[in-house]
Amino acid sequence: MKYISTRGQGGEKSFKEVLLAGLAEDGGLYIPAELPQFDQDKIRSLRGLPYNELAFEVIKPFVAGEIPDPKLKEMIDDSYATFAHEAVAPLTQLKSHQWVMELFHGPTLAFKDFALQLLGRLLDYTLTERGERAVVLGATSGDTGSAAIEGCRHSKALDIFILHPYQRVSEVQRRQMTTILDSNVNNIAVQGNFDDCQAMVKRCFADQSFLPDSSGKKTRLVAVNSINWARIMAQVVYYFHAALELGGPDREVSFSVPTGNFGDIFAGYIARGMGLPVNKLIVATNRNDILHRFFQSNDYSKQGLEHTLSPSMDIMVSSNFERLLFDLQDRDGQALAAQMAAFEETGKLSVSEQRWQKIRELFDSSRSADQDTCNAIKDLFDRTEYLADPHTVTGIRALEEVETDSRIPNVVLATAHPVKFPQAIEKAGLDAPELPHHLKDLLDREERYEVLTNDLNAVKSFIQNHLAQ
C-alpha cells in the first residue's frame, strides 16, 4: 500500500512513513494512492466476526508488507481488550430503522479511543524498530487529548504534549488528561481557543528545529490529531461493523455523524470507497457550521468561533475536509494546492456546481443550536429513556431534519458518553449520570498542567525545557 499527499508533491510513501509524518511536507494530508477493494462476497465473509478480528481484516490491506500479520493482530487485540463492552461498539435501536452505535466504551469514554489505542501501539512498534524516540504533539477541543494520552502513556519511545484551550473544555475532559501523572505526559492549557492551539501545533510541525537531539538522533514530532492517516484507517472498521450487523452488504445503510473536523465521517466515505454499501453520510454539527454551509450552499468559509454545549465540534476550519476536496478535484494535487493557498489567503472556497451537486448525492447535513441540542436530549430521554451526550444528539436530530430513505437502517454514531458533559445534560433538565467505576474518583485526583499565554515561543520553550530534563 502506497500513500500520496493531497497537494501532489513528494511522491509515494509507505505506511510507516505516513504514520510518523502525520502532515505531508507540502502541507497536504496523506491518502492511499488506491483504496483496497472488498467485493460483496468478501464483505459477507466478515459477518459474525468479533470486532478485533473484523478490524484485522479491514486494516490489514492498509499496512500490507510493513507489519507482520501476527504483530498487527496482537496490537489490534490489545487495543480493543481495553474496552468495557463485549461488543466493543454495540448497536442500540431507538425506533424503526434507527440505531445508535455506541463508540464510548473505551478507556476515555469517547470514539477517539478506537483510533488512539491502536495508534499508540503502532507508533511504539515503529519507533522501537527504528531505535528512535518521538514527541507526540497535539491540540484538543476535548476528547482527543485524553484518548491520545491513554493510548501513548505506556510507550517508552514517546513523550506527549497536549494543548487544550484554557477553561474551554469540560471538567471531566480536562481531568481525564491532567490527572495522568506519568513522567512522559505533559498538559498545556493555552489562554486562547482550540484553533489557536491547532495553529501552534501546525507551526511546530512546519519548523521542528527547536527540538533537542535524543541519543545522537534528531527527535521528531508525530501527530495524533485526525490529520494522521492511521486515525482514519482505524475508524473505517466500525462502519463495516455496523453495516454487517444490520444486513450489509445485501442492504444499504446510512450514517449520521456528529463531526467538526470531518475525520470521523471521512472514515465512512473511505468505507464506501472500499465497497461498503453506504446510502447517505449525514454531517451533524453545531453553530460552528462551516461543513453545514458547504453541503447546503457550497460555501466553505471561515467565520468566528462560537462556544457551544457540544465543545468537541467548536472549530472554524475542518482539518480533514481537504481529503474530500482532493477527490472533488479529481485527485489533482496541483489544483488542490492552489485552492488551499487561496483559502489560506481569503478564508473561503467553493467547488464547481457540477462537483458540488455530485457530492450532495452522498452527503447531507444538519446544524443544531444549543437550545435545539437541549430540547433533543430531553425529548429523546422522555421518549426512550436513552440519554445521549450533546454531540450524539445532534446526529439523532439530523435524522429528523434531513430526508432519508425510511426503508433502510440509519445509524447515528454516539461519539461520547453523556457523563463527560454534565452541564449540557443538566441544561436539558435532566440529572447528570454518575461517572463509571474506573473514573469514580476522577474529580478528587491530583492534577498536573501548565497554563501558558497564547504564544508559540512560550509553548516551544516549555517543550524544550521538559525534553532537556
E strands of 10-139, at which residues?
30-32, 91-95, 98-102, 134-139
Answer whether 104's CB lies under 8 Å from 414's CB.
yes
Q: Cell triple for residue 380?
A: 429523546
Give the residue among 271, 234, 219 at the shortest CA–CA distance from 20.
219
Answer whether 369's CB lies under 8 Å from 286's CB.
yes
Q: Cell triple for residue 306?
A: 462560537
Q: Which residues contact 81 (CB under 8 A, 6 or more apart)?
A: 52
Element (H, E) at 158: strand 158-165
Distance of CA 147 to the CA centre of its chain: 10
**Separation CA 322–CA 227 (nearest Å):** 10
**Separation CA 56–CA 79 (nearest Å):** 11
Q: Give me the helix-helix angle, 321-328 and 353-360, nearest 10°.
A: 120
Give the residue among 85, 94, 110, 104 at the shortest CA–CA distance from 386.
94
**Separation CA 407–CA 243 (nearest Å):** 14
Of 112, 280, 358, 378, which is the active-site residue? 112
**Separation CA 342–CA 377 (nearest Å):** 40
Q: Cell triple for residue 186?
A: 505533559
Answer whether 259's CB lies under 8 Å from 283's CB.
yes
394 conformational bin, left if phi > 0, alpha if psi -120 to 50, beta if neither = alpha
Q: Give me the helix-helix angle, 194-206 and 456-468, nearest 10°.
A: 60
E strands of 166-277, at which residues?
185-190, 213-214, 217-218, 220-222, 253-258
Torsion angle in degrees (nearest 10) through CA of 21, 26, 28, 34: -80
Helix, strand, or coil (residue 251): coil
- CA angle (158, 161, 165) in 5-degree steps: 155
**Separation CA 18–CA 443 (nearest Å):** 38
Q: Is 112 in the active site?
A: yes
Q: State the catalytic residues.
A: 112
